[in-house]
Chain A
Amino acid sequence: MTDSTYPEISFEARMATVEFRVDADRAHITVDDTVCRDCTTRGCITACPANLFVPTAAGGILFNYEQCFECGTCYLVCNEEGAISWTYPEGGHGVVFHRS
């Protein structure tokens, strides 16, 4: 594939196009970062389309649930049992698509 000078929006600008009705009271996904420390694959980091999983210097994983598409990619690729606890947000919260 050739490279091009096609102007690309930053990841922040890309995510800013999406409406998220964030539930400030409850994270619908939690990550047990102690499990992640032993994980060799860390598939969540490259696969999450919202780029919500960030490796920390200490060898763990930092996770932000607020801009989550609720797609399920992370728990499906997570090969460490129990590292990701995944539920849907409370009704009415989370991602809201308009032109999808």
Chain B
Amino acid sequence: MSDFDAIVVGAGPAGSAAALELARAGRSVCLLERGPTPGSKNMYGGVVYGRILDTLVPGWWEQMPVQRWVTRRSTMLIHDDRALTVDFRHPGWGAAPFNGATTFRPDFDAWLAGLAVDAGASLVCSTTATGLIREGGRVVGVRTDRPDGDLRAPVVIACDGVNSFLAKEAGMYPHTDAANFTVGVKETISLPREVIDERFGVRGEEGVDIEILGCTGDVPGGGFVYTNATSVAVGLVLSLPALAAGGDRPEELLRRLKAHPAIAPLVEGGEVLEYSAHVIPEAGYEMMPELVGDGILVAGDAAAMCLAAGIWLEGVNFAIGSGAAAGRAAAQCIARNDTSAAALAAYRRALESSFVLADHRKLRAAPHLVMGDLAQRGLPAVACGVMEDLFTVRNPEPKPGVRRIVRTQMRRHGVRARDAVREGLRALRAFG
């Protein structure tokens, strides 16, 4: 006997998108959330890209909880106390149909879960799925920590986040390697709206997203700063094995980023409103689990759908895209009374023909490249050194010429020309 047509575990963006599509298809769906409210366990590195919502929630920008619309996207390379920034502004991103927004995840996730509830999904919070119920090798439900908490359904969609104990229990993750993960740490710092507008050079609802390389000391990773309405978020993403190898702790590395001459003027003076941390599936396509099993689908961070490809850092949109596809595939399979792995494989095919797996497959080499030595050390050091030599006027010495500057800086920072060319070609291939 089934309690529902489908059980979705986790009311993050993947789970709520799945539940929304199931409910819209007229299916009874239980959306389980272990936090007291959706999003209460979630944090992220800053921007929700809205295109995926166009078909799912037409006119989403009129109802989504937004802190600021990102109209300024900067990429910063830091070396010592220097910084080189590529700064792109597009006021058009501040008007419909918009591009990306900053938002608090507890607000955003609760909004999306609310849409699923409005469509008919049953949201059950403060309930942890403690395991799968399996019969004859197929998944037929989940156990929860409620009294008499077993829930049965012909299909379970595991959107239980990066640690996905459900996908692991189902045997869908062959192995878990710490090298595939990073940990994100973040401070949300309160500042008056006018101060943020002035410091970041924006007005009204415009916002800024700054992504940073070279700011994580001996630990491969990256940093970010972005604006909310009356707070800024500053954080780091740090390789787990390097962090575990000793040396500096996350909050010490974050302190140094906040003290950097390029960052301190942006964030100083405010009160820390909240510190947060979360693990990120960094390795993308190379670490993805099986997405489909008998009676089970995996979506969102649980399926390593986060895209950590250097110039593109996205996750919420991939979670929504994969969750919605899982919901649609599950609804069709339920209608045909066949939720075997063979039938549910329609989910994987749908992802392959969408941006979700197309982007991940195309960019499969990118996460490794971004965490490599040249991107982490060589590039920021040489780039900042070249800028310094270019723009330091050393009269009466004559100008050395660009080629000599580049060669000198590469030598100084131990970057060999053939390595740079090789990595450059790899990057061209990786970023297609």
Query: CB within 8 Å of B: which residues of A?
Result: 1-4, 6, 8-9, 11, 13-15, 17-18, 21, 41, 43-44, 46-47, 49-51, 69-73, 76-77, 87-92, 94-100
Selected A-B contacts with CB under 8 Å, 14 pairs: A6-B258, A17-B274, A43-B241, A49-B251, A70-B41, A71-B183, A71-B277, A76-B279, A91-B34, A97-B41, A98-B274, A100-B186, A100-B274, A100-B276
The listed residue (B35, B144, B162, B244) touching A46 by CB distance below 8 A is: B244
Judge whether B125 and A77 touch: CB under 8 Å. Answer: no
Judge whether A72 and B249 touch: CB under 8 Å. Answer: no
6 closest residue pairs by CB, A with B: A43-B244, A92-B126, A100-B43, A4-B259, A49-B277, A77-B244
Q: Complex formed: what's the CA distance from A70 to B276 in Å?
A: 10
Closest residue of A by beta carbon distance from B256: A1
The listed residue (A6, A17, A41) touching B264 by CB distance below 8 A is: A6
Judge whether B279 and A3 touch: CB under 8 Å. Answer: no
Judge whether A90 and B245 touch: CB under 8 Å. Answer: no
Query: By DSSP majority rule, is chain A's interface helix, strand, loop, or mixed?
Result: loop
- Total A-B residue contacts, Cβ distance less than 8 Å: 160
The listed residue (B35, B244, B250) touching A41 by CB distance below 8 A is: B244
The contact size tier of chain B is 35 or more
Judge whether B215 and A1 touch: CB under 8 Å. Answer: yes
Across-interface contacts of A15 in B (CB, < 8 A): 275
Judge whether A49 and B250 touch: CB under 8 Å. Answer: yes
Judge whether A2 and B258 touch: CB under 8 Å. Answer: no
Q: Complex formed: what's the CA distance from A100 to B134 in Å?
A: 36
Q: Taking the complex as formed, is B255 at the interface, i.e. its CB lies under 8 A from any CB of chain A? A: yes
The listed residue (B146, B264, B274) touching A91 by CB distance below 8 A is: B146
Judge whether A100 and B35 touch: CB under 8 Å. Answer: no
Q: Complex formed: what's the CA distance from A88 to B127 in Å?
A: 10
What is the 8 Å Cβ interface bit string for chain B, positions 209-236, against chain A (1 contact, 0 not)? Answer: 0000001010000000000100100000
Closest residue of B by beta carbon distance from A69: B277
Across-interface contacts of B126 in A (CB, < 8 A): 91-92
B109 to chain A, nearest CB (A): 10
The listed residue (B163, B244, B273) touching A72 by CB distance below 8 A is: B163
Which residues in window 81-130 of B have CB below 8 A to A?
Answer: 81, 104-106, 125-128, 130
Judge whether A46 and B183 touch: CB under 8 Å. Answer: no
Known contacts A76-B178, A77-B178, A97-B39: A18-B275 contact under CB 8 Å? yes
Judge whether B35 and A69 touch: CB under 8 Å. Answer: no
Known contacts A6-B268, A91-B125, A97-B39: A1-B260 contact under CB 8 Å? yes
Judge whether A91 and B245 touch: CB under 8 Å. Answer: no
Judge whether A4 and B264 touch: CB under 8 Å. Answer: yes
Judge whether B42 and A97 touch: CB under 8 Å. Answer: yes
Judge whether B251 and A11 touch: CB under 8 Å. Answer: yes
Judge whether B278 and A69 touch: CB under 8 Å. Answer: yes
Q: Complex formed: what's the CA distance from A33 to B44 in Å?
A: 32
What is the 8 Å Cβ interface bit string for chain B, positions 22-59, against chain A (1 contact, 0 not)? Answer: 00000000000011100111111000000000000000
